[in-house]
């Protein structure tokens, strides 16, 4: 029988679902509103319905589905299959999501962190294809991280390794929502980029972003990069600060797990070379001189599909290794 794998990527706003063949080629995909406010039972029911409808449209039967991969934000007990809590899905507390989804679909479910899942997607099919050792960052509301070490996702003693957005780079710096001071997230995530620009404009920095704030009542990260392209000095200063923080993060990761490639993903990479070139500049400026480093710093290749591809790929791997029944 032909075998399929389903990849599911639950986010605070949308759930993305993909159906892949055994070579992990995408057959069909869909996206539904998460509707997290309706609680986990409804959400899982909607996801199961969307899976069935996706398969039906593609002329496939659920019987051919070999395994399902699921990625969600943490904190969670991934090993036990439980979402502990979620800043974007407040009704999700101690939800045994793996068991719920597995029961609903009648299929084994592999469950992991959303950053791990997206990282794995890029690793098997995107910007990390040719390497064995990779570090991955998603630049969104926060900063997520994942590490592939010798071809495997790095995990720690519990379920919370590679929370790379909370690496401290300015010990006496800004307070992060996590309670720490000076996390890289506070200097380089999309939401904090917007926040820092807003604060500067409110403190009367000269900038074309002032009009944006007056007209729209807010400055977004996208605004910052648009005004950077137009040569705005404040946008330049904010971007330099962001890029320097990310470069320090790259240097610190190089001295820790020594990747051969560092991949940035997430909405913020739409900023393009204006951001990437600056990260590389600060990396070259900041890295040690003891030896020449050849690590490649680049942007992700798969866009929004990384999560569903990675989830399906992890499901396939777990099935093959007999880790899910």
Gyration radius (Cα) of the chain, Å: 20
Of residues 290 and 325, the one with the C-beta less far from a second copy: 290
Residue 168 sits in the site that holds a second copy (CB under 8 A): yes
The single residue among 12, 35, 75, 267 that binds a second copy, judged by CB under 8 A, is 75
Residue 46: how many CB atoms within 10 A of its CB? 16
Taking the CA atoms of residue 183, residue 188, residue 194 and residue 197 in that order, the dihedral angle to the nearest 10 degrees is 90
SS3 183: strand
The single residue among 251, 306, 311, 318 that binds a second copy, judged by CB under 8 A, is 251
Question: Smallest distance, Å, CB 12 to a second copy?
Answer: 16
The single residue among 240, 252, 267, 276 that binds a second copy, judged by CB under 8 A, is 252
Residue 171 sits in the site that holds a second copy (CB under 8 A): yes
Which helix (H) or strand (E) is 195 found in, with range?
helix 190-202
Tell me how far CA of residue 198 lies from CA of 193, 195, 246, 247, in angstroms.
9, 5, 20, 23
Q: CA-to-CA distance for 284 and 185, rounded, in angstroms?
A: 21
Contact 321, 31 (CB under 8 A): no
Q: Which stretch binds a second copy (CB under 8 A): 49-57, 156-164, 199-207, 309-317?
A: 156-164
The single residue among 257, 274, 280, 298 that binds a second copy, judged by CB under 8 A, is 257
Q: Which stretch binds a second copy (CB under 8 A): 62-70, 190-198, 285-293, 303-311?
A: 285-293
Residue count, binding to a second copy (CB under 8 A): 45
Residue 94 sits in the site that holds a second copy (CB under 8 A): no
The single residue among 16, 196, 244, 278 that binds a second copy, judged by CB under 8 A, is 244
Of residues 20 and 123, the one with the C-beta less far from a second copy: 123
Residue (of 245, 240, 239) closest to 223 by Cα position: 239
Residue (of 24, 21, 18) closest to 3 by Cα position: 21
Q: Which stretch binds a second copy (CB under 8 A): 64-72, 112-120, 258-266, 271-279?
A: 258-266
* DSSP line for 2-15: --EEEEEEE-SSEE
Taking the CA atoms of residue 232, residue 233, residue 237 and residue 242 in that order, the dihedral angle to the nearest 10 degrees is 10
- 119-138 positions binding a second copy, by CB under 8 A: 131-133
Residues facing residue 298 across a β-bridge: 263
Residue 82 sits in the site that holds a second copy (CB under 8 A): no
Residue 241 sits in the site that holds a second copy (CB under 8 A): no
Residue 323 sits in the site that holds a second copy (CB under 8 A): no
Of residues 289 and 321, the one with the C-beta less far from a second copy: 289
The single residue among 161, 205, 213, 298 that binds a second copy, judged by CB under 8 A, is 161
SS3 81: coil
| Cis peptide leading into residue 254 (ω within 30°) | no
Q: Tell me the three-class secondary structure of 196-252, residue by residue.
A: HHHHHHHCCCCCCHHHHHHHHCCCCHHHHHHHHHCCCHHHHHHHHHHHHHHHHHHHH
- 200-239 positions binding a second copy, by CB under 8 A: none
Q: Which stretch binds a second copy (CB under 8 A): 121-129, 199-207, 227-235, 287-295?
A: 287-295
Of residues 289 and 322, the one with the C-beta less far from a second copy: 289
Q: Which residues in this chain contact a second copy in the complex, by CB under 8 A?
A: 75, 131-133, 147, 149-150, 154-158, 160-164, 166-171, 176, 178-181, 244, 248, 251-253, 255-260, 286-291
């Amino acid at each position: 029988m032909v075998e399929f794998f389903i990849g599911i990527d639950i986010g605070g706003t949308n759930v993305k679902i993909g159906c892949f063949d055994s070579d992990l080629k995408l057959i069909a995909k869909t996206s539904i509103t998460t509707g997290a406010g309706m609680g986990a039972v409804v959400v899982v029911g909607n996801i199961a319905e969307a899976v069935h409808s996706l398969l039906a449209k593609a002329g496939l039967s659920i019987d051919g589905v070999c395994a399902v991969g699921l990625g969600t934000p943490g904190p969670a007990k991934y090993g036990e299959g439980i979402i502990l809590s979620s800043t974007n899905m407040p009704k999700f507390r101690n939800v045994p999501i793996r068991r719920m989804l597995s029961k609903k679909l009648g299929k084994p479910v592999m469950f992991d962190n959303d950053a791990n899942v997206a990282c794995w997607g890029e690793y098997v099919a995107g910007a990390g294809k040719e390497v064995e050792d990779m570090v991955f960052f998603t630049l969104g509301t926060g900063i997520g991280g994942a590490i592939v070490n010798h071809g495997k996702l790095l995990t720690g003693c519990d379920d919370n390794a590679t929370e790379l957005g909370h690496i401290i780079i300015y010990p006496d710096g800004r307070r992060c929502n996590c309670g720490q001071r000076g996390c890289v997230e506070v200097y380089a995530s999309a939401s904090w980029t917007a926040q820092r620009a807003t604060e500067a404009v409110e403190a009367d920095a000269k900038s074309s972003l002032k009009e944006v704030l007056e007209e729209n009542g807010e400055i977004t990260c996208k605004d910052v990069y648009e005004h950077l392209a137009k040569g705005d000095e404040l946008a330049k200063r904010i971007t330099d600060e962001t890029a320097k923080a990310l470069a320090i993060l790259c240097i610190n990761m190089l001295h820790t797990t020594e990747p051969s490639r560092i991949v940035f993903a997430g909405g913020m990479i739409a900023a393009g070379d204006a951001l990437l070139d600056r990260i590389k500049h600060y990396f070259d400026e900041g890295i040690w001189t003891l030896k020449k480093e050849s690590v490649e710093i680049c942007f992700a290749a798969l866009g929004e599909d990384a999560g569903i591809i990675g989830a399906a790929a992890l499901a396939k791997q777990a099935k093959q290794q007999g880790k899910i029944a």
